[in-house]
Amino acid sequence: MADIRIAARSIGENTIDGDLDPLFKRIYAARGVRSAAELELSLEELLPPDELSQVQRAAERIQRAVVTQERILIVGDFDADGATSVALALSLLRAMGAEQVDFVVPNRFEFGYGLSPEIVQLVAKLEPTVLITVDNGVSSIEGVLAANALGIDVIVTDHHLPGAVLPAAFAIVNPNLPECRFPSKSLAGVGVIYYLLSVVRVKLREQGWFAERVAPNLADWLDLVALGTVADVVPLDRNNRILVHQGLKRMRAGRCRPGIQALCSVAGRQLGKLTAQDLGFALGPRLNAAGRLDDMAIGIRCLLAEDLQTARGLATALDELNRARREIEQEMVSEAELIVSAQQVEADDRFGVCVYEPGWHQGVIGIVAGRLREKIHRPVIAFAEAGDLAPDELKGSARSLPGLHVRDVLDAIASRFPGLLVRFGGHAMAAGMSIKRVHYPRFCKAFDDQVRLVLPREALEQVILTDGGLLEEDMSLEMAVRLERGGPWGQGFPEPLFHDKFTVVSQRVVGEHHLKLVLKRGDRLFDAIAFRHPPLGEAVMVDVVYRLNENDYRDTSTLQLVVEHLSVLA
What secondary structure, in 3-state letters, does 398-415 show? Answer: EECCCCCCHHHHHHHHHH
Average confidence (pLDDT) over 344-351: 71
Average pLDDT, the chain: 92
Length reported for the chain: 570
Contact 288, 302 (CB under 8 A): no
Contact 554, 532 (CB under 8 A): no
Residue 467 has pLDDT above 80, yes or no: yes
Average confidence (pLDDT) over 409-436: 92
Report pLDDT for 348.
66
Contact 437, 390 (CB under 8 A): no
Percentage of residues in the chain with pLDDT exceeding 70? Answer: 96
Residue 111 has pLDDT above 70, yes or no: no
Residue 448 phi, psi dihedral angles, 5° rounding: -60, -45
Give the orientation angle of helix 284-293 with respect to helix 308-343, to 10 degrees. Answer: 70
Q: How many CB atoms lie within 10 A of CB 1?
A: 9
Pairing of strands 558-568, 153-157: unpaired
**What is the C-alpha separation between 124 and 128, in angstroms, rounded?**
7
pLDDT digits (tens, 9 = 90+) for 10-27: 886 667 777 788 899 999
Report pLDDT for 435.
96
Continuous segment of H or E residues that includes residue 119:
helix 117-123
Residues 32, 37, 39, 45, CA torsion sign: negative
In sequence order, the β-bridge partners of residue 436 are 393
Contact 466, 6 (CB under 8 A): yes
**What is the C-alpha separation between 81 and 91, in angstroms, rounded?**
15
With a CB cutoff of 8 Å and minimum separation 6, the contacts of 279 are 226, 227, 230, 231, 244, 248
Q: How many CB atoms lie within 10 A of CB 458?
A: 8
Residues 219, 223, 228, 230, CA torsion sign: positive
Domains of the chain: 51-320 (3.90.1640.30), 344-460 (3.10.310.30), 464-568 (2.40.50.460)
Radius of gyration of the chain (CA): 24
Report pLDDT for 347.
54
DSSP 58-75: HHHHHHHHHHTT--EEEE
- Please return the burial class of 215, using the count of CB atoms within 10 Å of its CB with bins 0-12, 13-18 and 19+: middle
- Amino acid identity, residue 323? R
Contact 159, 191 (CB under 8 A): yes
**What is the C-alpha separation between 315 and 297, in angstroms, rounded?**
12
Q: How many CB atoms lie within 10 A of CB 105?
A: 25
**CA atoms lying within 13 Å on the CB side of residue 427:** 21
Contact 321, 342 (CB under 8 A): no
**What is the C-alpha separation between 41 and 563, in angstroms, rounded?**
29
pLDDT digits (tens, 9 = 90+) for 24-45: 999 999 999 988 889 999 999 9
Report pLDDT for 1.
46
Contact 256, 36 (CB under 8 A): no
pLDDT digits (tens, 9 = 90+) for 280-305: 999 999 999 988 887 889 999 999 99
**What is the C-alpha separation between 427 and 135, in angstroms, rounded?**
12
From 379, 361, 359, select the one nearest 369 (Cα to Cα): 379
Pairing of strands 421-426, 462-466: unpaired
Residue 153 has pLDDT above 90, yes or no: yes
- Please return the burial class of 211, using the count of CB atoms within 10 Å of its CB with bins 0-12, 13-18 and 19+: exposed
Report pLDDT for 292.
83
Report pLDDT for 108.
62
Region of 543 please: left (phi>0), alpha (psi -120 to 50) or beta.
Answer: beta
**What is the C-alpha separation between 103 and 76, in angstroms, rounded?**
8
Contact 50, 62 (CB under 8 A): no
From 119, 113, 111, select the one nearest 79 (Cα to Cα): 113
pLDDT digits (tens, 9 = 90+) for 515-567: 999 999 999 999 999 998 988 888 789 999 999 999 887 678 899 999 999 99
**What is the C-alpha separation between 277 and 292, in angstroms, rounded?**
21
In sequence order, the β-bridge partners of residue 163 are none
Residue 535 phi, psi dihedral angles, 5° rounding: -60, 155
Distance of CA 428 to the CA centre of its chain: 13
Average confidence (pLDDT) over 66-90: 95
